Amino acid sequence: MEITEIDDIIKDKVPSEALVTKTLMQASEVIIFTKNLPLFLEDEKIVKGLAAALKRRIHIRSDPSMVEEPANAEKKIKTLVPEGAGVGTIGFDANLSEVIIEAAKPGLVIGKHGMTLKNIAIKTGWYPQILRIPTSRSKVIKGIRYNLLKHSNERVKIMKEISKRIYREGKSTDWVKVTALGGSREVGRSCFLISTPESNALLDCGVNVASTNNAYPMLDSLGFPLDELDAVILSHAHLDHSGFIPYLYKYGYTGPTYCTTPTRDIMALLQLDYVDVVAKEGRDAPYSQRDVEKMIKYTITRNYGEVTDVAPDMRVTFHNAGHILGSASVHMHLGRGAHNLLYTGDFKFGYTKLFNPVHMKYPRIETLIMESTYGGPRAIQPARYISEKNLVKTVQETAKNGGSVLIPVFAVGRAQEIMLVLEEYAKKNNWDIPIYIDGMTREASAIHTAYPEFLRRNVKKRILHNNSPFDSDIFIVVDKTKREEIAEDKGAVILSPAGMLTGGPSVEYFKALCENPKNAIIFVGYQGEGSLGKKVQMMGLRKNHKGIPMQVNGKTKEFKVNMRIETIEGFSGHSDRNQLLGFYKRLQPKPERVITVHGDEKSCVNLARTLSYNYKVEATAPRDLDTIRLR
C-alpha cells in the first residue's frame, strides 16, 4: 500500500470533524495526527475501522499545535494520577506528542477502563506511554529509556525509512530457503538466513563465547551486502543468539532488530558485559558500546502474539518459549501464506518456577526449526523436586563442613531460577547460610521486576505486591571490592556468572575455592565444549581431579582442583530429551519438515532421526553453510 493510498483511505474513513493534519509511517505502524484527539478517544470504532482498512496498527496523536506546554502538562498529570501510583520520571516526546510516564504501579496511571490515561490525553494533548519502574534499581533500563527519548528525532527518521522498505513493491514468492550460518550441530553463534526472491531476514545472530576460532556466524557467505538485509529477528537475549547483532550495525546494517521488550534490555546488558570481558582478557571485541547503543535505536519491540510485517513477504509473531525472560519462539508467515515456519529458539516444555511452558498451538506450520541442546538419547534430566533436594543437600553438607559452595550461573535465567529455589527453602527452614549474588545477576534480576507480566503467576503476584523474591533480604549483593573476603567466608553460597566459567567473577571465586577439599562447585546449567566449566565438570564425573593452569596477575599458575564437584541437572531452561519429544507430540499442527539445530552433532542428528522414525516426518540436522529449500 502506497502512502498516498493510505492518506486516501484515512480521508475516506474518518469524519471531517476529526481534523487529521498529517500521517507518519513508523516501521509497520501508522501514526495519525489530529486536532481533535478527544473524538478518536471517545469513539474507538473509528480507529478499529481504520486499522482494518489499512491492515496496520494505528496510533492517534495530537497535532503538535494542540499539546500543552510540558511544565504545565506535568503539573496536570500529577493531579490526575492517584497518589499511590508512585510516579517517577515524566518525559515528553514532541516528535510523537507522547508523554512517557514511569510509575511503580502503571495500572493506576491507566485507571479503570483506561479512564485516567484518556483523561491525561484529553486534558494535556500528550498521549501517555506508561513504563513500569523496576522494584530495584536497573542501570540498563534507565539508560535505554533515557536514550530512546533523547534520540527520538533520529529514531522517527529511522522508523520512517524502515517503513518504506517493509511496504516496497515485492516480487512474487516462488521459493523460500533457509541457510545455516551458525548454530547447526553446535551450540553457540546461532544464525539462520531466511530468504525469498524479495527479502532476507536473519533469525538470531549470536556468538560462541566458549570458542576462539569458531566464535562468530559465517556472515561472509551471506552473498549480499549487509544493507540489503531486511530484518534481524531475535528469539532471546542469550549471547549465543544476540551477541553478534551490534557487529551488523557497525558494518553497515541499517534495518530493524525485532524482539520482545525484556529481550531488548537483557541483550544490551549481556552485550555490554561481553565487550567488557573480552577487553579485560586483552582481546579485540568485534564491536563497542557505541554499536550496542546504535542497535537499540533500531530495535523494535513486540509482545507475544502481536503480528508484525517485517518485509513485503514476511510477517513475524513471537510466542512464549519459557526459556528466559522475554524468550520467544518465532512464527514466520512467508510469501503471503506460501510458507509458514516456526523457529522454537531455546525453549522449555517442562516446569520452572519462573515461566509458563512453551507455546504449542499455531495456525499453520510447514517447517519447524527446533533446538536440540538435550536431543541425545541419554539426555534425560531428573524430576525437578529431586534436583531441588540435591541442591539443598549439597549446600547443607558443604556448609556443615565449613566449606563454601560456588554455583556458576548464567546471569540471566538460571540465576533467577536457583534464587527462587534457595529463597523458598531458606524461608521455610530459617536458613542462616549467607547467599551472595555477584556480577550481573543483581542487574538481571532487577530487569525481571520491570516485566512481571512475562513471569509465572506466583512470581508476578509477588512483584506486583512489592514482595519480589529477588529483593529478599536473604540475598547479599556483592560489593566488587569484597570478593576476596567473601571467598574466605566459610559456609557461604556464591551465585556468580559466567555460568560456564568462561570469564567474570565465577572464575575468580573458582581460583580462590578450588584447592580446598571442604568447598564445592555445583554446575546447574549447560557447559559448552571447550569451556573451563566443561573441563571441571568432566573431572567431577570421572572422579579424576587434576591440576588446571590458570592466570594469576599475568602469570600462569597450576591450581590443584580438590573441591567437591557436582552437576545437578533439572534446572535447565532447555527441554531435556523427553521434553523435546513431548513438545513435538503436543505441537499443533504438525509440520511437513523438521530441522534440528542448537545441539552438538550427536544430539542434533539423533533427535532428527528419532522424530523422523516416530512421526514419519522429514527431519534433518544440517551443518553450518547448508541451505535447505523449504518451498
Binding residues (CB under 5 A) for Zn ion: these are 238, 240, 346
Nearer to Zn ion, 597 or 608 (CB): 597
Nearer to Zn ion, 242 or 537 (CB): 242
| Cα angle: 165, vertex 171, 174; to 5 degrees | 130
Q: How far is the CB of 427 from Zn ion (least distance, A)?
A: 29
* Amino acid identity for residue 406 in this structure: L
Nearer to Zn ion, 575 or 606 (CB): 575
Nearer to Zn ion, 442 or 598 (CB): 598
State the cell numbers at 320: 512464549
Q: Which residues face 60 on adjacent strands?
A: 32
Candidates 230, 226, 225, 220; CA nearest to 253 is 226
Q: How far is the CB of 506 from Zn ion (least distance, A)?
A: 18
Q: How far is the CB of 322 from Zn ion (least distance, A)?
A: 11
Q: How far is the CB of 323 from Zn ion (least distance, A)?
A: 6
Nearer to Zn ion, 353 or 564 (CB): 353
Q: How far is the CB of 240 from Zn ion (least distance, A)?
A: 4
Q: How far is the CB of 344 from Zn ion (least distance, A)?
A: 11
Grid cell 508523554 is found at 99
Q: 163 near 57, Cβ under 8 Å?
A: no
Q: Output the 3-class SS for 192-230.
A: EEEECCCCEEEECCCCCCCCCCCCCCCHHHHCCCHHHCC
- Helical ranges in 429-529 per DSSP H: 441-450, 457-464, 483-488, 505-513
Nearer to Zn ion, 247 or 526 (CB): 526
Nearer to Zn ion, 26 or 263 (CB): 263
Nearer to Zn ion, 240 or 423 (CB): 240
Candidates 175, 613, 621, 593; CA nearest to 371 is 621
Q: 229 near 202, Cβ under 8 Å?
A: yes
Q: 599 near 623, Cβ under 8 Å?
A: no
Query: What are the DSSP E strand ranges found in 504-546?
Result: 520-523
Nearer to Zn ion, 218 or 476 (CB): 218
Cα–Cα distance measured from residue 444 to residue 138, given in angstroms and rounded to the nearest whole number: 8
Q: How far is the CB of 304 from Zn ion (least distance, A)?
A: 17
Residue 292 CA: distances (Å) to CA of 214, 229, 284, 501 = 22, 18, 16, 24
Nearer to Zn ion, 92 or 247 (CB): 247
Q: How far is the CB of 234 from Zn ion (least distance, A)?
A: 11
Q: How far is the CB of 51 from Zn ion (least distance, A)?
A: 34
Query: What are the DSSP E strand ranges found in 35-74?
Result: 57-62
Nearer to Zn ion, 118 or 238 (CB): 238
Burial string for 242-261 (b: 16+ CB within 10 Å, else e) reads bbbbbbbbbeebebbbbbbb
Nearer to Zn ion, 273 or 346 (CB): 346
DSSP 123-141: HHSPEEEEEEPPSS--HHH
| Cα angle: 242, vertex 243, 249; to 5 degrees | 90
Query: What are the DSSP E strand ranges found in 383-474?
Result: 405-408, 435-437
Question: Which 3 state secondary structure label does DSSP give 490?
Answer: coil
Q: How far is the CB of 241 from Zn ion (least distance, A)?
A: 6
Candidates 192, 222, 220, 186; CA nearest to 205 is 192
Q: How far is the CB of 217 from Zn ion (least distance, A)?
A: 13
State the cell numbers at 1: 500500500
Nearer to Zn ion, 105 or 238 (CB): 238
Q: How far is the CB of 412 from Zn ion (least distance, A)?
A: 9
Radius of gyration of the chain from its Cα atoms, rounded to whole angstroms: 25
Q: How far is the CB of 186 from Zn ion (least distance, A)?
A: 11
DSSP 308-364: EEEETTEEEEEEE-SSSTT-EEEEEEETTTTEEEEE--S---S--SSSPPPP-B-S-
